Structure 1
Amino acid sequence: MERTASCRERPSVTECFDCLTDAYRCFLMGSCPSQDAADVAGVIFSGVCGLVPGENRECAPAEDCHENSWELTCISVTLVEKMTCLISQSQPPEVTAYCAEILGVLFQDMDLISQLVRQFQTEDQIISHLAAKSVSTCVVYHLHKSATVSPVWQQKCVQAFNSSPPGTELDACLWSLTEVLKRLIKAAHQEIIGKLLAAFDSSLSALCSKFLPDERKEVAKCLVDFTSSKHWETTFCLLLDLLEALTASSLICGAGLKCQRLTHIHSSALLTTVSFSSEYFIKKRALLLLKRAVLQKTGEDWALGEVLSTGLKYEYFGSDMNMLSQTVLSAVVANWLQSVQVESASFFGGTRLVQGDEGQKPDSVILRAVSLLLLKSMELHIQTTGTTAGADSAIDVYGYLERLWGFLRRCSVQLMEVTHLCCWVSLLFGEQDDDMMEAAKASLSIFLHHRLCSGLDDFTVLEAACASGCNPHCHFMLLLQSVSFDHSILLDFLISTETCFLEYFVRYLKYLRADWQGFTAACERVSTSDYKESLTCPCDVDMSALTYKGEPDQVELSSCVQPTGVIPPMERIGVVAGLRLVEYDSSDESNPEDIVISEDEPAASLYEKRGCTALDVKQETSGQPVFTGQQQCESFDSAGSLSEPNSTLERRTEGLSLPVLQSKQKPCTNMAPLSGQVTRETLARAVLCLSELREVVTRLQTKKLFPYNPSSLLKLLGQVENFSHQSHLSQFNK
């Protein structure tokens, strides 16, 4: 009789479910449930622990022990996470107090954390993951509140890292620690991050030694052993996510803990994983982790940019980056590139077929990652060795480039057909501006190193650079071509923190001052290559095939006229000339600050020192009225706008229409003498683009609308104009 009475007093699954559902809905609406806080806490605890204990299981209907019990556990765990988040958010005081009362009962009186952590090892992956989410939220809440790490959660994770095989328990611990670390990184809690990671330093090192041993043969054997487990792919991916979070934490909290350096320490094992893993997505994840590590961009997908750009360097930063670069270069020498697998490009619908007989398009993500990993490793190696190594060092550098080019040609039909090797940067990185600028900057460093070490004259150096695909003049000219010589797009790059264009641009302009003849030769090389390619089209070009984009000087022929190896104007950008990559919403002026461009200072750091952003230059760059709410901002007058006078447009189009029009009237063989004119035109358009850029930056600086002090940049641009003017006069005198 007593057992029957106790069964009647216990609420049914339906009653518990209704109670928790009502509480969840009330929280979503910002109100308090009608139930007492202690009663709701009891229902949540029963749901987390399992509704029907063993001794009372016979009292419950059969359906209560299966699906309904599972649903109750899910909503109970989810409600704990919801209430923990509500306390940290701005909610009505009564709701915050109600949630705090429930959580106080659960954590202090019922020790709910222990029950949630127990759910990590359940075979049900959904419940295990929901428990990990809920525990992570609670751990972060207590870290913010008392700066203490939950001992139960810490003990469970340490135990799993030291001894657990791949499975749901280890997965939950890896995901939970990664989530806690990500939230702390976003909030930039340096002291808390250091304290948290100190508790896991030794166990994480042991975990990585198990999954990523030092010896190459051991890594291969380890990957084979893990394949026997159905969970190993998930576990390994979660480990890679944790390694990225750990590496990102070192950028804002330079505690110098070993666990923050695991990506660099085990870089050789990660490269071996790329070679020997049976799963392509595992190879890709490991390769992208190494790419972000060498670019110092770990966590860029989920962390706030200003948090990770503090410029903080921990004690072992230099040695770790050198270790990573040397590991990559040693692997390349050992033919690592030959073992890198590149599959067909994929998207949500499967694999994309390329028209014609070219087969399937290769995975450009892998191609870009491998290229940047090697280029940045070479750049780091150059920075470490300096210019003391002599000519042998320069020869080694170009040897690495030859290996890279062999890899790219083996994997890409498009790159295999390129005759001017300097085009590969634009072709491969054209869809990713940030990666393209990183590649251009690294190539510039490699070229300058070779120029100093080789002892050859400038002409021979440039010829060797073109043969290896790293002539900086060609890269810059191809960049200008890809944006149709539109100075406003360069301005967008300058005021954006998403690329390293500022650092690259300043360094290139400094080199351009010393080698104007090389720049002129690059204009000739690029324009002549384009011109010769245009001769392969039929002579009877239909003028209706011409496509005018934006301004009169931007004339495109149909696809049959486009030169191989050169991206058609604006095709990469996806917008017509005259449109900006960034649409600015206001023109509020901000106080100037003395921020000088430094070659050693990342572009992102310049923006941290100044409150002015890209939003401050809308009217000045567009010359169009902007509407904000009900307010209409007046546009600048003609003196402050960027609209070009007719004479400028005529000057920009002068000579361009002649060869195009003559293509209809003359045979192709008679167009050869026009190549010199096309070369002069290309040079004139490049110089005009830089001149217009200098003018608009000067106006923005005068109006205090530029986000940093561009004095050094303006000086360099002015010197480029002077070189152009002097070169023009010398040619005229001849």
Structure 2
Amino acid sequence: MKFSDGCLADVCASHRGSMELTESSAPSSCRELLCCLADCHRCLLRGSPPALSAAQVAELIFSGVCGQVPGGQVEKSADAVWEVTGFSLSLLGKICCWVSAQSLHGDSWAAILRLLLEHMDVMAQLVHHFRAEDQLISHLAAKTASECVFYLLSTSGTVSPAWQWTCVQAFSSSPPAPELDACLWSLTEVLKKLLRQSHPELLGELVATFDCSLTALCCKLLPADGTEVPVSGRWGTTVCLLLDLLEVLTMSGVTRGGGVPLRSQRIPGLHSAALLTIVSSRSEYFVKKRILLLLKRFLLQKLGDDWSLEGVLSTARERRGPSADGRALAQSVLKAVADNWLQSVQVEHAVFFGGARRRQQNEGLKPDGTLLRAVSLVLLKSVELHFQTAAAGVDSRMEVNSYLGSLWTFLRRCNASQVEVTHPCSWISLLFGEQDDDLMEAASAFLSIFLSYRQCSGLEDFSILEEACASGCNPHCHFVLLLQSLSFDHSILLDFLISSETCFLEYFVRYLKYLQADWLGFTAACGHRTVPLADSHGSEPGEGLRPGGSAPPLEESSLGVGLRIVEYDSSDESAEETPDPNKQSESPTTVMGDVSSELKTKPSSSVVQSDQECPTAAALLEQGACDTLCRVVSCLSELRAVVTRLQTKKLFPYNPSSLLKLLAHIENCHQRSPLALSQK
């Protein structure tokens, strides 16, 4: 908001003559000062100008921020000073926020802000509070300073010298302390605001200002090779604040376009080994978890997903592709896994809204699923990136088996499934079933790994699928298990296709292209796969399982009808569905057909068990497997029909023509298969 020269002159004249006006009516105690500030706050909430002049209000706020009574008297009560200081900081921050958003009428509040920032140097007082031992005052000061800095940047393009100097000094030399924490939080908040408001030039200039000092800070806080990781509580808090800042900095480097990112915008890649070292060290558990979540978002290219950046995120995703830093991180992860890094990663029990829970006797607590999913996705994406960028002709078979074998061993050690897993392909449903966005990312990564594996293996299709099942990366198994977890409900697939919250569309199209080229392998996966040995998602550990951790017989398991990723039937907003006579009253035995008896007599370690070099579809499938295959094809056919109907009515959010062609081709593959022809 701009001021006219006449308005500024009147305000400054009012400020110069305000002492005579306020000496007789100035508050004489912190209590009176608090009442005056409360009156100003009520006017602000109403959107009306304050009853006092701009100079008087500015002096009241400045006195409150300093913790002093305008008359110069010293308040003896520390609680009263604390209350006035906190209220003044909050009021100043709200004024800054509302003036920046131009949500206030008139120039009075903007004039107050201009007086405080340009004539009273309130920023020097704000950064002084950064080092306050009281965490609330320090945080309020950082929050208010961030609002003021953003206001100055957006109106005049200048950075407060006091704020800049304080932050640079803290980043360059300060040990973990309240001042450093406040500076980290404040800079993070300012950068987020600039990202939201799409100020790329200001963003780039600000990052460049702090590039050297932030690089020095990362070298100081993140351990070098052979350096022992600190375990103090203050260090952990500071590192978590640094991780938040690193996410914003990396995001700012992604959104800047074709420019070369600064060193401080590349920390996750440059210091990836140090970050992995912290995860395997004796540092606090919450620090390890935050690091893994940051690395996961970095590899998935989902930085800033929870910041409501909208247009910024869509722009960044348009430039989606593996970066040099992403490849460097992937190589660090794979090197660490080869050096038995997973054996040193500790996983605690899952926490709840009420905090952690002590384990009772004979009670099995679930491990921390968030951390397990993060570790798994970091490794899977690293393997995917490694093979995407590997030289042509590189044999990936041994590497895939080694990395995925290490992951399954890690998950078993952490008791991730609560039951014995005999078929590695079922890990994807067991581990990611409660988090659909992670599930789709994992399925997409597995598909990429398998396609790279298949391209360089030189084996025939059935031999490849056997090895893929042994490694847990058979895409046919994953897709059938996904549909089973959705109860073969095409409407949920439609939700995934329309939603932008997962990468399902990308995964679905890639898988359908592969499926039409390997229909026989898909039919084999329908007929010779094990059902995942797990309880329903979200249920208590061991519920529905036999004592001692053994799985129930297939006909007794509730898994026969599938595990829903989301319990749509329990939602109050779900529409009532008309019972389908073909789907209702189906027992698990009907769903899986006679596969249960086949599974009891055949090994379950692989999806494909072949006694012939080229088995026919009739030899691969019995009636139970035929039922599973028909349900999959029926689900895809229903999906094609509803997408076609929506496209005809111009209600589908994008052009699905290519997808519809793929779905139609899958139906043709089924109709031309020997099994379908034999049933006609």
TM bucket (normalised to shorter chain) is 0.7 to 0.9
2:69 paired with 1:62: no
Q: Does the aligned pair in 1 maintain the 2:437–2:501 contact within 8 Å?
A: yes
Shift of 1:35: 1.7
AA aligned to 2:336 is A
2:163 paired with 1:149: no
AA aligned to 2:668 is N
Name the residue aligned to 2:565. Answer: 572
Alpha-carbon distance between aligned partners in 2 of 1:214 and 1:662, rounded to the nearest angstrom: 54
Shift of 1:728: 4.8
Q: Does the aligned pair in 2 maintain the 1:119–1:131 contact within 8 Å?
A: yes
Instruction: Name the SS for the 2:371 alignment partner.
Output: helix
Where do residues 651-670 of structure 1 align in structure 2 (5 Å cutoff)?
A: none
Instruction: Name the SS for the 1:310 alignment partner.
Output: helix
Shift of 1:12: 2.1
Structure 1, unaligned runs of 5 or more: 535-544, 546-557, 584-621, 625-642
The structure 2 residue matched to 1:136, chosen from 146, 155, 159, is: 146
Name the residue aligned to 2:33. Answer: 16
Shift of 1:30: 2.0
Q: Does the aligned pair in 1 maintain the 2:428–2:478 contact within 8 Å?
A: yes
Where do residues 604-643 of structure 1 align in structure 2 (5 Å cutoff)?
A: none
The structure 2 residue matched to 1:42, chosen from 44, 51, 59, is: 59
Q: Does the aligned pair in 2 maintain the 1:427–1:565 contact within 8 Å?
A: no
Name the residue aligned to 1:539. Answer: none
Shift of 1:285: 0.9
Where do residues 510-589 of structure 1 align in structure 2 (5 Å cutoff)?
A: 510-526=513-529, 529-530=530-531, 569-576=562-569
Percent same amino acid among aligned pairs?
54
Structure 2, unaligned runs of 5 or more: 1-21, 536-543, 545-550, 603-620
Superposed CA deviations along residues 157-178 of structure 1, whole A, max 9, x for unmatched, are 1111000111111011000000
Alpha-carbon distance between aligned partners in 1 of 2:94 and 2:533, rounded to the nearest angstrom: 65
The structure 1 residue matched to 2:364, chosen from 359, 365, 376, is: 359
Alpha-carbon distance between aligned partners in 2 of 1:170 and 1:705, rounded to the nearest angstrom: 52
Alpha-carbon distance between aligned partners in 1 of 2:355 and 2:83, rounded to the nearest angstrom: 34
2:192 paired with 1:175: no
Alpha-carbon distance between aligned partners in 2 of 1:387 and 1:165, rounded to the nearest angstrom: 48
Where do residues 268-667 of structure 1 align in structure 2 (5 Å cutoff)?
A: 268-311=273-316, 318-351=323-356, 357=362, 359-385=364-390, 387-389=392-394, 391=395, 393-412=396-415, 414=417, 417-526=420-529, 529-530=530-531, 569-576=562-569
Shift of 1:151: 2.0
Instruction: Name the SS for the 1:34 alignment partner.
Output: coil
Alpha-carbon distance between aligned partners in 1 of 2:591 and 2:419, rounded to the nearest angstrom: 33
Instruction: Name the SS for the 2:417 alignment partner.
Output: helix
Alpha-carbon distance between aligned partners in 2 of 1:207 and 1:174, rounded to the nearest angstrom: 11
Alpha-carbon distance between aligned partners in 2 of 1:531 and 1:233, rounded to the nearest angstrom: 39
- Compared with structure 1, are the counterparts of its residues 125 and 731 closer, same or farther at alpha carbon in structure 2 (3 Å cutoff)? same
Please provide the CA RMSD for this pair: 3.5
Name the residue aligned to 2:14. Answer: none
- Compared with structure 1, are the counterparts of its residues 733 and 429 closer, same or farther at alpha carbon in structure 2 (3 Å cutoff)? closer
Superposed CA deviations along residues 583-636 of structure 1, whole A, max 9, x for unmatched, are 8xxxxxxxxxxxxxxxxxxxxxxxxxxxxxxxxxxxxxx8x9xxxxxxxxxxxx
Alpha-carbon distance between aligned partners in 2 of 1:533 and 1:81, rounded to the nearest angstrom: 51
- Compared with structure 1, are the counterparts of its residues 209 and 250 closer, same or farther at alpha carbon in structure 2 (3 Å cutoff)? same
Instruction: Name the SS for the 1:427 alignment partner.
Output: helix
Q: Does the aligned pair in 2 maintain the 1:423–1:565 contact within 8 Å?
A: no
Q: Does the aligned pair in 1 maintain the 2:30–2:69 contact within 8 Å?
A: no
Q: Does the aligned pair in 2 maintain the 1:478–1:566 contact within 8 Å?
A: no
Q: Does the aligned pair in 2 maintain the 1:213–1:266 contact within 8 Å?
A: no
The structure 2 residue matched to 1:158, chosen from 168, 174, 183, is: 168
- Compared with structure 1, are the counterparts of its residues 563 and 402 closer, same or farther at alpha carbon in structure 2 (3 Å cutoff)? farther
Q: Does the aligned pair in 1 maintain the 2:29–2:69 contact within 8 Å?
A: no
Q: Does the aligned pair in 1 maintain the 2:560–2:592 contact within 8 Å?
A: no
Alpha-carbon distance between aligned partners in 2 of 1:88 and 1:360, rounded to the nearest angstrom: 49
Superposed CA deviations along residues 105-163 of structure 1, whole A, max 9, x for unmatched, are 11121111112112112222211111110110011111111222222211111111000
Q: Does the aligned pair in 1 maintain the 2:65–2:125 contact within 8 Å?
A: yes
My pick for the range that moved more, 511-520 or 307-316, is 307-316
Alpha-carbon distance between aligned partners in 1 of 2:495 and 2:83, rounded to the nearest angstrom: 51
Alpha-carbon distance between aligned partners in 2 of 1:397 and 1:733, rounded to the nearest angstrom: 40
Superposed CA deviations along residues 540-562 of structure 1, whole A, max 9, x for unmatched, are xxxxx9xxxxxxxxxxxx98767
AA aligned to 2:84 is L
Q: Does the aligned pair in 2 maintain the 1:431–1:572 contact within 8 Å?
A: yes
AA aligned to 2:247 is E
Superposed CA deviations along residues 658-677 of structure 1, whole A, max 9, x for unmatched, are 956999xxx999x999x922
Alpha-carbon distance between aligned partners in 1 of 2:326 and 2:591, rounded to the nearest angstrom: 55
- Compared with structure 1, are the counterparts of its residues 18 and 657 closer, same or farther at alpha carbon in structure 2 (3 Å cutoff)? closer
Where do residues 183-198 of structure 1 align in structure 2 (5 Å cutoff)?
A: 183-198=193-208
Alpha-carbon distance between aligned partners in 1 of 2:393 and 2:457, rounded to the nearest angstrom: 11
The structure 1 residue matched to 2:630, chosen from 684, 709, 727, is: 684
Alpha-carbon distance between aligned partners in 1 of 2:252 and 2:531, rounded to the nearest angstrom: 47
Alpha-carbon distance between aligned partners in 2 of 1:133 and 1:559, rounded to the nearest angstrom: 56
Shift of 1:399: 0.9
Instruction: Name the SS for the 1:385 alignment partner.
Output: coil
Superposed CA deviations along residues 645-690 of structure 1, whole A, max 9, x for unmatched, are x9xx566679x56956999xxx999x999x9222111110100000
Instruction: Name the SS for the 2:306 alignment partner.
Output: coil
- Compared with structure 1, are the counterparts of its residues 532 and 489 closer, same or farther at alpha carbon in structure 2 (3 Å cutoff)? closer
Q: Does the aligned pair in 2 maintain the 1:24–1:79 contact within 8 Å?
A: yes
Q: Does the aligned pair in 2 maintain the 1:273–1:283 contact within 8 Å?
A: yes
- Compared with structure 1, are the counterparts of its residues 126 and 498 closer, same or farther at alpha carbon in structure 2 (3 Å cutoff)? same
Instruction: Name the SS for the 1:374 alignment partner.
Output: helix
Name the residue aligned to 1:89. Answer: 101
- Compared with structure 1, are the counterparts of its residues 9 and 110 closer, same or farther at alpha carbon in structure 2 (3 Å cutoff)? same
Q: Does the aligned pair in 2 maintain the 1:691–1:717 contact within 8 Å?
A: yes
2:643 paired with 1:697: yes
- Compared with structure 1, are the counterparts of its residues 353 and 473 closer, same or farther at alpha carbon in structure 2 (3 Å cutoff)? farther
AA aligned to 1:167 is A
2:261 paired with 1:261: no
Superposed CA deviations along residues 188-209 of structure 1, whole A, max 9, x for unmatched, are 3222211110111111100001
Shift of 1:251: 2.3
My pick for the range that moved more, 489-498 or 25-34, is 25-34
Alpha-carbon distance between aligned partners in 2 of 1:126 and 1:533, rounded to the nearest angstrom: 45
Shift of 1:260: 0.8
AA aligned to 2:230 is L
TM-score (norm 2): 0.84
- Compared with structure 1, are the counterparts of its residues 668 and 249 closer, same or farther at alpha carbon in structure 2 (3 Å cutoff)? closer
- Compared with structure 1, are the counterparts of its residues 354 and 118 closer, same or farther at alpha carbon in structure 2 (3 Å cutoff)? closer
Aligned residues: 623
Shift of 1:359: 2.0
2:53 paired with 1:31: no
The structure 2 residue matched to 1:234, chosen from 232, 237, 248, is: 237
Alpha-carbon distance between aligned partners in 2 of 1:348 and 1:447, rounded to the nearest angstrom: 38
